[in-house]
């Protein structure tokens, strides 16, 4: 029985490495967009602060109104957080949890700032060519500034990992309407999963690695769905060497 457990754990690690490895090799151009130009990579056992996940799951009503679902959000947040911690040995780093009850204004402000910057990166760096900023010259060149330096002093971490996740699901009534309209040759927009991940240098505030996903499928409320989404979101994370 012990042998089976050890084999399962080893197989899981090998599977994650396989996904990460081929994500790394899939495209040199993609890699250049994911990494800051002057980022030399992570050293083995680097301490990375895991920031509180900025996540919200909502249900889309028949009329298209999005209603936030607290229970869904809490479930998905816990599933994603637990899946991140499982990957630290694969990435060769140490993830440090930030003890936060959601009432820390400084942490909330930093998360809000990062969310704004992440959306800017998604639009101007990964978006259509017409949205590119000439001053960036095609490079990942965004920073949170000095506001994150206090986190380094409090936690002894070198970097911070930020995750921003939004996911929507059609209500039962909307699903029925979608099927009915499809029979008439018409469409009704369904759910959409959008997520950003950012690795930030706590000395400089620079975003040294960034990735995003945007897809119409996936269920963050299930362990399998949360794991798949995180695999996609961290598919080219810079493994420590």
How does pLDDT run across 199-231, given as a tens digit for each residue? 999 999 999 999 999 998 889 999 999 999 999
* Structure letter (DSSP) for residue 62: T
What is the band of 24 on the pLDDT scale with cuts at 50, 70, 90? very low
Share of the chain above pLDDT 90, in %: 56
Mean model confidence pLDDT for the chain = 84
**Does pLDDT of 61 surpass 90?**
no
- With CA atoms as reference, report the closest residue to 76 among 208, 160, 191, 241: 191
Average pLDDT (132-142) is 91
Would the pLDDT of 143 be above 90? Answer: yes
The strand pairing partners of 158, in sequence order, are none
- Let me know how long the chain is: 241
* Confidence at 161, pLDDT banded by 50, 70, 90: very high
Phi, psi of 139 (to 5 degrees): -95, 155
């Amino acid at each position: 029985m012990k042998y089976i457990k050890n084999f399962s754990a080893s197989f899981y690690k090998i599977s994650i490495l396989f996904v990460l490895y081929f994500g790394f090799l899939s495209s040199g151009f993609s890699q250049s967009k994911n990494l800051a130009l002057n980022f030399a990579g992570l050293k083995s056992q680097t301490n990375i602060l895991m920031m509180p996940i900025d996540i919200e799951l909502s249900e889309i009503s028949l009329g298209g109104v999005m209603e936030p679902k607290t229970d869904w959000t809490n479930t998905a947040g816990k599933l994603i957080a637990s899946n991140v911690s499982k990957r630290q040995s694969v990435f060769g780093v140490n993830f440090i949890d930030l003890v936060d009850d959601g009432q820390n204004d400084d942490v909330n402000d930093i998360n809000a700032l990062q969310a704004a910057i992440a959306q800017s990166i998604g639009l101007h760096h990964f978006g259509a060519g017409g949205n590119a900023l000439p001053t960036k010259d095609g490079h990942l060149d965004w920073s949170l500034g000095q506001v994150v330096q206090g986190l380094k002093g409090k936690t002894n971490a070198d970097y911070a990992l930020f995750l921003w996740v939004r996911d929507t699901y059609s209500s039962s009534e909307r699903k029925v309407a979608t099927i009915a309209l499809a029979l008439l040759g018409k469409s009704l927009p369904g759910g959409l999963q959008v997520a950003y991940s950012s690795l930030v240098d706590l000395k400089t505030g620079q975003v040294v690695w960034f990735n995003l996903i945007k897809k119409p499928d996936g269920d963050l409320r299930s362990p399998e769905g949360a794991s798949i989404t995180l695999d996609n979101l961290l598919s080219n994370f810079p493994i420590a060497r």
